[in-house]
Each structure stands twice: as structure tokens, then as C-alpha cells.
């Protein structure tokens, strides 16, 4: 199986388990469950859950065991997208190639969908010990790291800084502040979660954190580049929205060519972080190539 097929296969496995975790669309009250399912299954690459699985494999853990954590991260990620699209934030009409949650179900529903996804993310994680037999101290550590990644010094902090700097000229320090939190925090905790739940040593975690930081940076730069040169049909959202919204991006600050070079350099650093790992980290290596060459 080639790498892209393998990715698609893993995304399919994640979707199957997500489907089992979420209440059926007709569970009472159906309006919220329909809207939750709409947002989760509207598409999406499933990069973060795939990183959880690959993080586990890199330390010779079992992907199946950490699957609930993979789903938990995707639920939390989807919450952030639903809330980010709201009129009070980015006011976007399209996400993952589909009308955004608030466009279909209304604003109140979209706020509640985000709240429900965030809450269920932690509920799913908390079951890991009982259902998959993972030592409780590992589960608690991951719950704590995920909460931190999602909080005011992670995702929310990055979002606040991003919203506050709209229309301003942003320097490199602020750009990095925003992206290490908005994008980096969740990517980092994904890789770490898989590894922590599988009993990684602190030395392994350090290397995997270096990998994830650089992968997150490469991912964000490519995201910014796609907003300039991407195909709207493929990326599933309007091209040029960063520029229209005066967003801080790598191409805006450094130019397109320098942004591409920075993405390539971050990809190299991500690969270098895996030097001491053997074939068990090959999927993480493949993901670097995927992130740097993706068109969506």
C-alpha cells in the first residue's frame, strides 16, 4: 500500500471509531446530534488523530489502544474549527468544502456544537483507562496536556492573539506566538499523547516533541502558502482569505519563496528529530513528506 492509501485507510479507521463515540443523529435532542455529526463528518484530513496513532507506533505502542485518544483530539480540533468559523470570529461560510456549521444550523447551535465536542473530547479520553487498560497516570497526564494545549496558553491564546492582531502589521515574534499555539499546540499534543499512553521514555518524548514542533511549523507555513496559491475546490475554503482579513502569515511577512524555504527547513528538522528512531517511526517520516507536499 502506498503512503497516501495508508493515510486514507487510517482516516477511515478514525472515522469508524468517531462514529461509535458520537450519539446517533436521532438521539434526543436530535438537532444537536445532527449538527455535531455534520461538523465531524464534513470532511477533514484527520491529521491529528493519525499523529496520535503514529506517535504510539514510534515507541512500539499499539495504535488500536490509543484510538480513543486519537478521536478525542479530532473532536477537540473540530470544536475549534466550528467556533473559529462563527460570525464573531472569522465569519466563514465554507469549511472542509461544505457550508459551515452556523450557516446550516444557526449560530446558537454552532456554539453548542463546539461546546459539546470539547466536552466529549475529554469524556472519551477519560474512558481510556477503564476501556483500554491504559495505566491511569498516563491518561491523567494526557488529559492535563490536552487541556493545556486547548487553553489560554495554547489554542485559545493563539486565537486571541490572532484576532487582536487582525489589520496590524505583525512581526516574526508575534507570528510565531500565534502559530505555535493555534496550530502547533494541538499537533504537538497529538504526537505526545500517542507516545505517553504507550509508555514512552522522557528521552523519546523530547525527540518526538522536537519532531512535532517542526512538523507543526511546516504544516502552518504550507497552510499559509495554500491560502495564496491553493485551489479553492481542493482546499475547501476560499483562497486569499488571509490577505482579505489582513491575517499574519508567513508569505505575507517573508514572501512566497522564503516561506517555501522555511517550510522545507522545518521539514528537515522534523526528520532530523527522528534520527534515533528506527523503522517504527517511518509513518511519522512519511507524514513530513505529506505535510510539505499537500495541496489541501
- Contact residues for ligand GRG (CB under 6 A)? 44-45, 47, 77, 80-81, 83-84, 96, 155-156, 159, 182-183, 223
Nearer to ligand GRG, 110 or 143 (CB): 110
CB of 276 to ligand GRG, least distance (A): 28
User: Rounded to the nearest whole angstrom, what is the least distance from the CB of residue 65 to ligand GRG in the complex?
Assistant: 23
Cβ-contact 95, 236 below 8 angstroms: yes
Name the residue among 90, 128, 129, 130 with its Cα closest to residue 110.
Answer: 90
What minimum distance in Å lies between the beta carbon of 95 and ligand GRG? 7
Q: Which whole-number Å values give the CA distances from 101 to 82, 98, 109, 160, in the listed order?
A: 6, 9, 8, 21
- Shortest gap between Cβ of 160 and ligand GRG (angstroms)? 8
Cβ-based nearer residue to ligand GRG, 44 or 55: 44
Q: Which is nearer to ligand GRG, 134 or 218 (CB)?
A: 218
Distance separating alpha carbons of residues 80 and 25, to the nearest angstrom: 21
Which grid coordinates are listed for 218?
511546516
Give min distance, CB of 193 to ligand GRG, in A. 16
3-state secondary structure of 99: strand
Task: Indicate the residue among 57 and 84 with the shorter CB distance to ligand GRG.
Answer: 84
Q: How far is the CB of 242 from ligand GRG (least distance, A)?
A: 8
Is the Cβ of residue 45 or residue 246 nearer to ligand GRG in the bound state? 45
Which residue number, 129 or 296, has a Cβ lying nearer to ligand GRG?
Answer: 296
Distance linking the first and last C-alpha atoms of the chain: 21
State in angstroms the smallest separation of the CB of 84 from ligand GRG: 4
Helix axis angle for 155-164 and 172-179, nearest 10°, is 140
DSSP state, residue 26: T
| Max Cα distance, the chain (Å) | 52
Beta pairing, strands 98-99 & 94-95: antiparallel
Q: What is the CA radius of gyration of the chain?
A: 18
Kindly tell me which of 185 and 200 has the beta carbon lying closer to ligand GRG: 185
Q: Which helix (H) or strand (E) holds 94?
A: strand 94-95
Q: Comparing C-alpha atoms, which of 81, 29, 25, 48 is closest to residue 291?
A: 48
Amino acid at each position: 500500500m502506498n503512503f497516501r492509501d495508508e493515510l486514507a485507510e487510517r482516516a477511515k479507521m478514525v472515522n469508524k471509531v468517531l462514529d461509535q463515540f458520537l450519539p446517533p443523529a436521532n438521539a434526543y435532542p436530535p438537532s444537536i446530534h445532527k449538527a455535531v455529526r455534520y461538523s465531524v463528518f464534513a470532511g477533514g484530513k484527520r491529521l491529528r488523530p493519525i499523529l496520535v496513532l503514529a506517535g504510539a507506533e514510534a515507541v512500539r505502542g499499539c495504535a488500536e489502544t490509543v484510538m480513543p485518544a486519537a478521536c478525542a483530539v479530532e473532536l477537540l480540533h473540530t470544536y475549534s474549527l466550528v467556533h473559529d468559523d462563527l460570525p464573531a470570529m472569522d465569519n466563514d461560510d465554507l469549511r472542509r468544502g461544505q457550508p459551515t456549521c452556523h450557516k446550516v444550523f444557526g449560530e446558537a447551535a454552532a456554539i453548542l456544537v463546539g461546546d459539546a465536542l470539547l466536552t466529549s473530547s475529554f469524556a472519551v479520553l477519560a474512558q481510556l483507562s477503564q476501556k483500554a487498560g491504559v495505566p491511569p497516570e498516563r491518561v491523567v497526564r494526557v488529559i492535563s496536556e490536552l487541556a493545556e494545549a486547548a487553553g489560554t496558553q495554547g489554542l485559545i491564546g493563539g486565537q486571541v492573539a490572532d484576532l487582536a492582531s487582525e489589520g496590524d502589521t505583525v512581526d516574526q515574534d508575534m507570528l510565531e506566538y500565534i502559530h505555535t499555539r493555534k496550530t502547533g499546540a494541538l499537533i504537538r499534543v497529538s504526537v505526545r499523547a500517542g507516545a505517553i499512553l504507550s509508555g514512552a521514555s522522557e528521552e523519546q518524548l523530547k525527540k518526538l516533541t522536537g519532531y512535532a514542533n517542526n512538523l507543526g511549523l511546516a504544516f502552518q507555513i504550507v497552510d499559509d502558502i495554500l491560502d495564496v496559491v491553493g485551489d479553492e475546490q481542493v482546499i475547501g475554503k476560499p483562497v486569499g482569505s488571509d490577505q482579505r482579513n489582513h491575517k499574519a502569515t508567513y508569505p505575507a511577512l517573508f514572501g512566497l519563496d522564503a516561506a517555501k524555504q522555511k517550510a522545507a527547513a522545518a521539514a528537515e528538522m522534523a526528520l532530523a528529530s527522528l534520527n534515533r528512531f528506527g523503522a517504527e517511526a517511518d509513518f511519522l517520516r512519511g507524514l513530513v513528506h505529506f505535510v510539505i507536499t499537500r495541496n489541501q
